[in-house]
Amino acid sequence: MKLKYLVLIALTPLILIFDQLTKLYIDRSMKLYQSIPVIDGLFSITYLRNRGAAFSFLSEASWRLPFFILATVVALIAILIAFRKLRDDQGLAAVSLTMILSGAVGNLIDRVRMGEVIDFLDVYWRTYHWPAFNVADSAICVGVALLALDMFREEKRLKGEPVAT
């Protein structure tokens, strides 16, 4: 079996299980809007539910749920197509696409199951809050950053420039 498929088969369940278990733990052990400071003035565990996307985008739209489910399914298909086209030497791209896919599936599970996503990681500085997020969101963001790095390295490789490993 090709390495990229081993990455997909091994990493996806790990991310999904960690994402779903953390959300389940938050849901069962905290009250909605309850906040537990972890690092004063910087980070708290805060139980929130988000009906929209990032920054609560479209949270009040009546058609938001079918839209987000359809958009996620289309994105998953695109990711799988891109994943299938990866060369054997594109391990970082395989990891990044797997992280993006896993995060998307993790949030899709919430949307289908509850119509909204559980968020609980609350990063802030004084009164300035970054929107709360979860493990799935983190996997997507790290995956996108790694994909950008891989694309930069691929561009250098195509130009014949040395690429740091």
Residues sharing a CB contact under 8 Å with residue 90, sequence separation 6 or more, in sequence order: 4, 150, 154
pLDDT in tens, 77-98: 999 999 999 999 999 999 999 9
Whole-number pLDDT of residue 34: 98
Q: What angle do CA 55, 20, 70 make, to 5 degrees?
A: 55
Q: Which of 110, 119, 122, 150 is catalytic?
A: 119
Show the tokens assigned to 11.
């990493």
Ranges under pLDDT 70 in the chain: 54-60, 165
Beta carbons of 50 and 117 less than 8 angstroms apart: yes
Beta carbons of 138 and 121 less than 8 angstroms apart: yes
- Told to judge if 122 belongs to the known catalytic residues of this protein, a careful annotator would answer no
- Told to judge if 137 belongs to the known catalytic residues of this protein, a careful annotator would answer yes
| pTM (two decimals) | 0.90
